[in-house]
Structure 1
Amino acid sequence: MSRPGGGFGGANVAPGQKPLDFKTTVRRVGKLLVAEPITMALVIALSVASVGLGVVGPKIIGHAVDEITSGYLASLRHTGAIDFDSVGRILLLALIVYLVSSVLMWWQSYLLAGVVQRAMQTLRAQVETKMHKLPLSYIDAQPRGDLLSRVTNDIDNVGQTLTQTMGQLLVNGMTVIGVLIMMLVVSPLLTLVAMVTIPLTVFVTGAVMKRSQKQFIAQWKHTGALNAQVEETFAGHELVTVFGRRREVGQKFDEHNDALAGAAFGAQFASGLIMPINMFIGNLQYVVVCVVGALRVGSGAMTLGDVVAFIQYTRQFTMPLTQLATMANQVQSGVASAERVFEILDAPEQSADGTAELPEPTSGRVEFSDVNFGYQADTPLIENLNLVAEPGRTVAIVGPTGAGKTTLVNLLMRFYDLDGGAIDLDGRDIATVPRGAVRSRIGMVLQDAWLFEGTIADNIRYGRPDASDEELLAAARAAYVDRFVHALPQGYETVLDETAGALSTGEKQLVTIARAFLADPAILILDEATSSVDTRTEVLLQEAMGALRRDRTSFVIAHRLSTIRDADVIVVMEHGRIVEQGDHAALLEARGAYYRLYQAQFEGAFLDEEEQASSPVS
């Protein structure tokens, strides 16, 4: 039975539906950075030293201006001349100060870049660990492309944001404080004049950031939705082409693409207004300071050097504020991405593992006792189900689509937790046993033959990585893989891409059976393993699976009833309940649900043959 949720094509939450918890998210990102307290302390110390030297520079330049001005005025009065040696020493001191400040700033940037990248490495590791702790129901409920976007694009965006803004935030924040102190030292009056524009700057910046915030949230959610739609289209490219749905897919892509472009434009345009507005306010401030400063020099209350220094400080003060405001769009974008990543980290985990141990060796006796389960809390699927599979016996599960066949084996694999009842493996409730211990006793061969990028040998060895070459070859021969591998150019070392295009569907399935052979599980689950192959290949698969089922407890899910005639027990399910069970002959004789399924299937096949025989040959 297919699980609910799971589809592709859109994000889970409508863009802009809930506000960004900015402060909490920033604090959580900060915790990643302070994981290296000594390095971060050194980064801050270097920032303080670099900024301190940088803000002293204009004062030194002001002394040089005063030296030149006083010498020039003395030369006009013929009482002295410009002391170029003194000016040279002052300028050399300024050069050294600025050089040391730059070196310290480079060192700070180098250390901070390392801290950020290690923090992102930690974040990726946390997400990877979390993904293995999430219940399958959570994964099923997420659009696959959106989930991939969160663990790739969003984490990359957080790292990029921290790399580009963290150092500037530190330096610019300290520069504002340092410059403000120096401005007060030079002229409290001019400082007061310069500060008049600060409230206006803060108000404008806050108003623009508030407007652009929702746009950044929408931007990254539309990115996830677009990735989901693209991933779905690429995965089903052949299906899209066969059914001629390229136009509809293109229209859907255009809708997501337009929504993303609109949100991105809105975010960038709104936040892009900050810099020109602040530059305009800064220029007004510059004009006012120049006029007032000139009047102060004219009255003799200030020297020209102090005014020159103060004007430099004004620029130094305005520039960090403008840069901080300009970085608002990057910061908001990074925080929006961080929130999407933290949503994964905050998702409820699957229930805790038990500590009980399974007996060794595991015989494979499975008992379902009063099992209740539903994918939705208010929609039960399986109710009061009881079933016993004895060691070494084959249990076939049949029934119409949606009856709960696949759900039953998913519960055995502990992909989902029961709502009620218990499943025992060799007398142990599997809910009390670690999931890994349960799954290590079970091998699965699914309808979809999953092969990864690597050699055929690697794909087979996936069932037991420590298997020897002799064991691998024995498993391949038992599953009839050896028959076709030698026809390939590199044999077992033939490299498959992620689509395994070098193999036919049946050959892929044989490789997965060889993988199960090599794993040598106590329990085997075969879920529609032959439904998509031709008759000749099915014969090989049946022989291979017959050998694989020998001396193992096996659960076989099949729609083709001809493939499970020799099962020890056939279980017929309808609407999550077992309505019949017995062997093939007994169930046919009972003329119940199994009989109806059998007659419908084989009478349908017989009628098809008659129609083909009576139809004219073109």
Structure 2
Amino acid sequence: MSKPAASAKSSMPGTMSRLIKMLFSFFPVLLPLVMAGVILCGLINSIGAVFLQSALEVISTSWQTGDWAAAQPKILKIVLTLGAIYLVGNLSSLFWNRYMAVITQGSLEKLREKMFNRMQDLPIRYFDTNQRGDIMSHYTNDIDTLRQMISQSLPNLLQTVIVLTTVLCIMLYFSVWMCLVIITGIACMVALTKLLGSNSARFFIAQQRELGVVEGHIEEVMNGQKVVKAFCHEAAAEADFDERNEKLFEVSQKANMYANILMPVLMNLGNLIYVVVALAGGVFLALNVPNLSFSGLPLSIAVVVPFLNMTKQFCGQIGQVSQQINAVVMGLAGASRIFELLDQEPEVDEGYVTLVNARVNPDTWELEETDERTGMWAWKHPHKADGTVTYEPLRGDVRMVDVDFGYTPDHDVLHGVSVYAKPGQKVAFVGATGAGKTTITNLINRFYDIADGKIRYDGINVNKIKKADLRRSLGVVLQDVNLFTGTVMDNIRYGKLDATDEECIKAAKLAGADDFICRLPEGYNTMLTGNGSQLSQGQRQLISIARAAVADPPAMILDEATSSIDTRTEAIVQRGMDALMQGRTTFVIAHRLSTVRNSDVIICLDHGRVIERGNHDELIAKKGYYYQLYTGAFELE
């Protein structure tokens, strides 16, 4: 979740420091070279006044002596020297602008990779508690503000600081008295920048946060557009959007108001300082005030004129600082949100038991690990106490004992739930929506960790099993189907990336999907886009079942796997599912009771508690909760 604006503001120096360190780690050689180019350009842009003073000094001397012939080679030398210096400056500018683009785009590429990789390591809870649109905003708005800051604002700010420092030193070198006049005016400019800039920064940070909220809402409404139209909810959706959009407008207009005020105020104040310096120079010359300087030059028109040019340049650079500050603040606000994503705690996995292919050693008749796919699986269990390794055959024995769980600490969803699934059994969960059926399967594959109790898989505490291996042993078919942009074959192969075309086709036939796939325009090579929008819900579910089948998992979780399939198609799929479940421990969640009749164990849940368990005949004979559901209606909803 986004931090409050005040917190983000207070962490800005830390964010800037972290960002610069990251840029140096990405480009340890190129970045210093680019910075050197920026500094060189800043120095060259600052020294024009020195040559102007020299030229005026030569002209003044020639005017007094009348020896213009001696002045010509000196002026030519000054012009040629200045031209050579500016040529170097142009080449330096070309260099750093060219390679700053490389640094910017390269850094953003690496940042996007880090963000996406971190996102893959985050627990399901993060995605359940954050809007998808807000998460996407990290990759779009936050990255874009960071791009502008890295490519333009930071180099310009560095160059501006170099120019300001150099010009100030030159002014002190020529005249301390006139420099003090400028410093007094600059103090006023800094005070105004601090006053207006701090308010601007605060609202720019809020703008980034509200932009994420608006994009999250847009993404949510777009995904639910069919529901919006089906329930004539367009007006209410517009009202909800207007409310969020209004908040974004309020903070954005305040941010830009302060930002737009700052620039003209500083420019006018700079013009006023220029006039004051000109008047002070005239007064000092009229009164013949002794010059206090490090150069030893007397106060003359040859000093005052370059000084006025430097004053104009100095005040203009202060205006540039104010202009860049807003972009830097927005960039840091985006960087802060990006770092918040990168700093999210990854999914904790302290497991050390792994799932391996196994075979029986013909000499010892004991299980041993093998690289071949033998169809036999074993848990490789290293024992820290004595350093030995044992292999436990994967049987699919799952036991939950007195499990308590809540998605939030103050609200338990499951209360003392105990579930026993023997190897090869088909265990079905029935109950009304919210009874805790899907929650149990989420705990078995450790999308969430339990608050109390034990879950054992083949006698091993699931906390000791590596999550990737635990989930690899569990094929999952979810109620909400997600198909990815790619061919039908690619989507089936998602269950097993090294699966051959023949294995994918075999899995599709097993799931009953081969028939409709072959009727598609390009068969298995048909491109799917928009989550398979060109397919029916039932067809999408069949591909999802085929994807689980090609993985050939030792155990299965079927969460409403046939809920979106018509009765005729369900009969076809059920035959394939029966073949898929043969010999595997299977957990089935179903609202249609007709799909769970042949289960070995049916567990009835109500408000997070197990109230009945047994097979179909046993539960019908009890004439309890299941009997009422079965005889009253075949649909739980």
TM-score, normalised on structure 2? 0.88
Q: 1:487 aligns with which of 497, 503, 519?
A: 519
Shift of residue 596, structure 1, vs aligned partner: 1.6
Match of 1:26 in 2: 16
Structure 2: how far apart are the matches of 1:417 and 1:543? 34
Contiguous gaps of at least 5 residues in structure 1: 1-10, 606-618
Match of 1:239 in 2: 227
Shift of residue 315, structure 1, vs aligned partner: 2.1
Structure 1: how far apart are the matches of 2:449 and 2:416? 15
Q: 2:309 aligns with which of 309, 312, 315?
A: 312
Match of 1:47 in 2: 38
1:202-601 matches, cutoff 5 A: 202-297=190-285, 299=288, 301-358=298-355, 360=358, 361=377, 362-601=394-633
Match of 1:64 in 2: 55
Structure 2: how far apart are the matches of 1:531 and 1:20? 51
Structure 1: how far apart are the matches of 2:411 and 2:539? 39
1:154-191 Cα deviation digits (max 9, x unpaired): 12212222212110111111111111111111111211
Q: Does 1:164 align with 2:155?
A: no
Task: Tell whether the 8 Å contact from 1:457 to 1:492 is kept in structure 2 after alignment.
Answer: yes
Structure 1: how far apart are the matches of 2:635 and 2:449? 40
Structure 1: how far apart are the matches of 2:634 and 2:490? 40
Shift of residue 548, structure 1, vs aligned partner: 1.5
Higher RCO (C-alpha 8 Å, min separation 6): 1
Q: Which amino acid aligns with 1:204?
A: L
Structure 1: how far apart are the matches of 2:35 and 2:8? 35
Q: Does 1:147 align with 2:131?
A: no
Structure 2: how far apart are the matches of 1:562 and 1:85? 105
Task: Tell whether the 8 Å contact from 1:61 to 1:94 is kept in structure 2 after alignment.
Answer: no
Match of 2:94 in 1: 106
Identity of aligned residues (%): 37
Task: Tell whether the 8 Å contact from 1:372 to 1:382 is kept in structure 2 after alignment.
Answer: yes
Q: Which amino acid aligns with 1:52?
A: L
Shift of residue 602, structure 1, vs aligned partner: 4.2
Q: Which amino acid aligns with 1:483?
A: D
SS of the residue 2:162 aligns to: helix
Structure 2: how far apart are the matches of 1:564 and 1:388? 17
Task: Tell whether the 8 Å contact from 1:109 to 1:167 is kept in structure 2 after alignment.
Answer: no
Shift of residue 73, structure 1, vs aligned partner: 4.3
Q: Which amino acid aligns with 1:466?
A: D
Task: Tell whether the 8 Å contact from 2:197 to 2:259 is kept in structure 1 after alignment.
Answer: yes
SS of the residue 2:60 aligns to: helix
Q: Per the alignment, do residues 80 and 595 of structure 1 end up closer, same or farther by CA in structure 2, a change over 3 Å counting?
A: closer
Structure 1: how far apart are the matches of 2:104 and 2:451? 44
Shift of residue 80, structure 1, vs aligned partner: 4.9
Task: Tell whether the 8 Å contact from 1:55 to 1:178 is kept in structure 2 after alignment.
Answer: yes
Match of 1:613 in 2: none
Structure 1: how far apart are the matches of 2:460 and 2:121? 23
Contiguous gaps of at least 5 residues in structure 2: 290-297, 359-376, 378-393
Structure 1: how far apart are the matches of 2:19 and 2:312? 31
Structure 2: how far apart are the matches of 1:308 and 1:454? 70
Task: Tell whether the 8 Å contact from 1:145 to 1:231 is kept in structure 2 after alignment.
Answer: yes
Task: Tell whether the 8 Å contact from 1:67 to 1:82 is kept in structure 2 after alignment.
Answer: no
Q: Per the alignment, do residues 402 and 203 of structure 1 end up closer, same or farther by CA in structure 2, a change over 3 Å counting?
A: same
Task: Tell whether the 8 Å contact from 1:20 to 1:336 is kept in structure 2 after alignment.
Answer: no
Shift of residue 151, structure 1, vs aligned partner: 3.3
Q: Per the alignment, do residues 525 and 376 of structure 1 end up closer, same or farther by CA in structure 2, a change over 3 Å counting?
A: same
Structure 1: how far apart are the matches of 2:418 and 2:355? 21
SS of the residue 2:346 aligns to: coil
Task: Tell whether the 8 Å contact from 2:38 to 2:96 is kept in structure 1 after alignment.
Answer: yes
Larger displacement relative to structure 2 (130-139 or 431-440): 130-139
Task: Tell whether the 8 Å contact from 2:204 to 2:252 is kept in structure 1 after alignment.
Answer: yes
Task: Tell whether the 8 Å contact from 1:413 to 1:439 is kept in structure 2 after alignment.
Answer: yes
SS of the residue 2:429 aligns to: strand
Shift of residue 117, structure 1, vs aligned partner: 3.1
Q: Which amino acid aligns with 1:519?
A: A
Larger displacement relative to structure 2 (187-196 or 128-137): 128-137
Task: Tell whether the 8 Å contact from 2:593 to 2:635 is kept in structure 1 after alignment.
Answer: no
Shift of residue 558, structure 1, vs aligned partner: 0.5
Larger displacement relative to structure 2 (235-244 or 250-259): 250-259
Structure 2: how far apart are the matches of 1:303 and 1:277? 32
Structure 2: how far apart are the matches of 1:45 and 1:500? 52
Match of 2:183 in 1: 195
Task: Tell whether the 8 Å contact from 1:513 to 1:544 is kept in structure 2 after alignment.
Answer: no
Larger displacement relative to structure 2 (99-108 or 544-553): 99-108
Q: 1:128 aligns with which of 112, 116, 125?
A: 116
Larger displacement relative to structure 2 (396-405 or 342-351): 342-351
Structure 2: how far apart are the matches of 1:501 and 1:120? 32
RMSD: 2.2
Task: Tell whether the 8 Å contact from 1:411 to 1:417 is kept in structure 2 after alignment.
Answer: yes
1:4-41 Cα deviation digits (max 9, x unpaired): xxxxxxx8777779755222222222221221343333
1:80-99 Cα deviation digits (max 9, x unpaired): 55733332221121111122
Structure 2: how far apart are the matches of 1:564 and 1:593? 15
Task: Tell whether the 8 Å contact from 1:16 to 1:218 is kept in structure 2 after alignment.
Answer: no
Q: Per the alignment, do residues 589 and 12 of structure 1 end up closer, same or farther by CA in structure 2, a change over 3 Å counting?
A: farther
Structure 2: how far apart are the matches of 1:33 and 1:562? 60
Structure 1: how far apart are the matches of 2:4 and 2:317? 36
SS of the residue 1:34 aligns to: helix
Q: Per the alignment, do residues 127 and 320 of structure 1 end up closer, same or farther by CA in structure 2, a change over 3 Å counting?
A: same
Q: Per the alignment, do residues 252 and 574 of structure 1 end up closer, same or farther by CA in structure 2, a change over 3 Å counting?
A: same
Q: Per the alignment, do residues 604 and 452 of structure 1 end up closer, same or farther by CA in structure 2, a change over 3 Å counting?
A: closer
